Structure 1
Amino acid sequence: MKGIDSMASIIKRGKSYRAQVSLYKNGKHKKLTKSFPTKKEAELWALEMELEKGNGKQLAHGNTTFADYFEDWIYLVKINDVKETTFQFYIRTSNLVRELFKDIKLKDLNDIIVQRKIDEYAKTHSKSTTHTLLLKIRTALKDAYSRGYISNDFSGLVKSRGKILSKRNKALSISDLKKLRNYTFQHPENEFNLFVLLALETGMRRGELLSIRPENIFEYGIEVRNSISPTSNDKSLKTKSAKRNVSINKEVYDLITKIPVKQNGYIFLTYGFKQSEMLAKLLEKLNIEKTTFHGLRDTHASFLFSQEIDLVYVSKRLGHSSIQTTQNYYLELMPEKKHQQDADALKLLNSL
């Protein structure tokens, strides 16, 4: 092999050609090999590998499986970058990566292989869930490329697919909001009803509601300072902007201040974090369209929008880090308001 015989070797094995490149890692010499149908392809690959060695690429790491690399990456890098609850999600993602990629090595990865694995996952998951997985895989691949463990960054070529499911956190209509709110007001003897009422009244997240202590309640509002999670002991809020004071009506204040404080110092029980299941039974009883517990937060936001409350105020009340977040996730009008605006738009067009 001219020009690179001293650095790499090409050996004919039957009908194929095996290229071999010498590597040096952690004080030890190793060899990277790959077979090709033609000598020209083998020579080209060997040349590319030698050039990448010259550019500082750490090719020896390519023999590490992607699953092992992803796990090492989250424990060495991400563990210091994210809060504990988010890190727990990375651990679950690592288990998914191991299940999908099994023993596939870094050096054997390309956009086609990763795309196939993402598509395999997408067959049984929603597009949004698949996209969340892909984002983390992309970040890990970019990290591997920046460290020279893979020869090119192909992560941007991989697309997220999957089933487009109807939104589970659906905002209730104004009429259903009134029905649910009135019922919870009239039946305060059930503490879960007051939990639902407070979610409708404040738009607070479930974990934020669960972390309310007597000292967090004032006339007339609630200090949001912590959040309780079912997967972590970390009680810190989702973002810095989530720390806020949320005003409430006097009638709601009077009801929640009568709730007996639990032995652990909190106002509400965790209900085993089964709030969505409990809410589903309540909504079925009242003949209200099903939504998740987080859907009550959407309902609160959508109602404020429908009443033309200022976007900046709504964003701060929800504890979002930016107005853009509010626009992206909650700027969905309630059905009655949308129908009215449809009529208004047609009326304007007819007047031209």
Structure 2
Amino acid sequence: MAHIRKRGKTYSYAIDVGKDPLTGKRKQINKGGFIRKKDAEAAARKIELLLDENRYIVQSKEVFSEYIQYWFENYYQTRIKQASAINLKYIIEKQLICENPFANKEIAKITTMDIDHFYNLKLKEGYGTSYIRKLHQLLRQALSQAVKWKKIAINPVEDAAPPSVKYEEMSIWSFDAIQTFLHNCKGERHYLTFLLAIYTGMRRGEILGLQWSDIDFDKKVIHVIRSLSYVPKSGNVFTTLKTKNAKRQVPIPEFVLNELRIQKKRIEKWKELVGPMFEDQDLVICTNTGTSQDPRNVLRVMKRIVSNTKIPKIRFHDIRHTHASILISEGVDIVKISKRLGHANPKITLEFYAHLLPNEDNDIADIFHDAIQNKDKENEKGLE
């Protein structure tokens, strides 16, 4: 029920709308400046009607930085994996609070233009399109919840236009480059890391997260079930894999198994030398004290070897592409390749590697022509 009051020469109304479910504070809708009492009453009735139909939105005065922190800490992080939450917390603090032009703007006043300007700013700062689209997804989810919590009427992110993803050109090594690289890193600590990447197509984090219990020496299979990643302010974090297909079995040749056996003996020697200080985490790729290897160190070693050998410069992830391209060139079925790489489905594999598949379409025109000709001949016989 609205309360009508006269203040000076004008009238105002106040409508109680309960308590804020998040803060517990009492909420009211107030408006004044009406010359006549009946005008204030009429305006209040319109608001009450909207409230009855659950269509009235009390625009929040909460600033974006406060809201995004509350949304993440009290709602979103409880619904995602711990490792993902650690990584997203860092992204929110850096990108959406510290380096965001509308961080201190009321969420009800944020416009689609603000969002688009933010994306353009990140492009100028050199961030990749796929990363910006992740920020877009995060913003959309956060402000969609603000709509559901009736803090804002519409989500300004819905009409925003994040940049289209531009995939970096795929680079792969030749057989000669692979042999040269492996030969020159033979004595390196990360020799086995690179060998596994080349021979299995596993991701860097999957290799660094590999434990001895994941390797079946009898069946010659690696069970890929976790990953290791570096998260700023949190260090190295083990995570479960994102999709059910990513959790997979990867057959390996005897040559790789022998290198794994050598690594196992090497780690046993480290245990003897270090003694009680050795932190046994059952890791295949570890430091000489048993702890996890920093993923960034792998890239430093790779960069140094590539520079010294003068072979084509590629990213670590391109070793995975190299593995896939060799399998394709040898005629391995794309579905089998997809399972080996841990893709969600073969469609993803085709999108990545369709240009590497042999062109078997050259005879399609002749096949179609022959089919038409044969049909015409059948029709001619029927008329005889």
Question: Would you say same fold, with TM above 0.5?
Answer: yes
Aligned residue identity for 2:253:
N
Counterpart contact for 1:20–1:32, Cα < 8 Å: yes
1:138-177 equivalence runs, <5 A: 138-161=140-163, 167=168, 170-173=170-173, 175=174, 177=175
Unaligned runs of at least 5 residues, structure 2: 20-24, 33-42, 271-277, 287-291, 370-384
Give the partner amino acid of 1:102.
A
**One-letter amino acid matched to 1:307:** E
Q: State the match for 1:211 in structure 2.
A: 209
Quick check: 1:221–1:253 contact (8 Å CA) kept in 2?
no
Work out which of the residue numbers 307, 310, 320 in structure 2 matches 1:284. 307
Of all paired residues, the percent bearing the same amino acid is 20
Preserved contact between residue 305 and residue 333 of structure 1 (Cα < 8 Å) = no
Question: Residue type of the partner of 2:239?
Answer: K
SS in 1 for 2:190: helix
Shift of the 98–249 alpha-carbon distance from structure 1 to 2, 3 Å rule, reads same
- The residue number in structure 2 matching 1:318 is 341
Counterpart secondary structure, 2:60: helix
Deviations 1:264-305 (A, max 9, x none): 332213542221222122222222222221221122123223
TM-score (norm 2): 0.70
Which is greater in Rg? 2
CA contact (8 A) 1:58 1:147 kept: no
User: Shift of the alpha carbon at 1:181?
Assistant: 3.8
Match of 2:117 in 1: 116
In 2, Cα distance between equivalents of 1:303 and 1:82: 36
- Work out the CA distance in 1 between the residues paired with 2:116 and 2:239: 37
Q: Are 2:115 and 2:156, in contact at CA under 8 Å, matched by a contact in 1?
A: no
| Residue 200, structure 1, aligned to residue 189, structure 2 | no
Quote the residue 2:331 is aligned against: 308
Quote the offset at 1:203 in angstroms. Answer: 0.9
Deviation at 1:65, TM superposition (A): 1.5
1:145 maps to a residue whose letter is: V
Q: Summarize the Cα distance change of 1:238–1:284 in structure 2 as closer, same or farther, 3 Å threshold.
A: same
1:267 equivalent to 2:266? Answer: no
1:184 and 2:185 correspond: no
Partner of 1:226: 226
More moved, 220-229 vs 249-258 = 220-229
- Cα displacement (A) at 1:320: 2.3
SS in 1 for 2:320: helix
**Cα–Cα, structure 1 residues 52 and 138, in superposed 2: closer, same or farther, change >3 Å?**
farther
Q: Matches of 2:314 and 2:50 in 1, distance apart?
A: 54
CA contact (8 A) 2:198 2:323 kept: yes
Name the aligned partner's letter for residue 223 of structure 2.
E
Q: CA deviation at 1:202?
A: 0.4
Matched residue count: 321
Q: Which one-letter code corresponds to 1:108 in the other structure?
A: K
Task: Report deviation, 1:248.
Answer: 1.2
Residue pair 2:227, 2:240 contacting (<8 A) in 1 also: yes
AA aligned opposite 1:244: R
Partner of 1:91: 89
Distance in 1 separating the partners of 2:60 and 2:53: 15
Tell me how far apart the structure 1 counterparts of residues 107 and 45 of structure 2 sit (CA, whole Å): 19
Q: How far apart are residue 185 of structure 1 and its match?
A: 5.5
CA shift in 2, pair 1:82/1:28, >3 Å: closer
Quick one: distance in 1 between partners of 2:253 and 2:320? Answer: 17
Match of 1:67 in 2: 65
Closer, same or farther in 2 for the Cα pair 1:77/1:307, shift >3 Å? farther
Do the aligned partners of 1:188 and 1:255 also contact (CA within 8 Å) in 2?
A: no
Q: 1:161 to 1:213 in 2, by over 3 A?
A: closer
* Inter-CA distance 132–326: structure 2 relative to 1 (3 Å threshold): same
The one-letter code of the counterpart of 1:239 is: T
Measured after TM superposition, the shift of residue 53 of structure 1 is: 4.0
AA paired with 1:293?
F
In the alignment, what sits opposite 1:38?
Answer: none
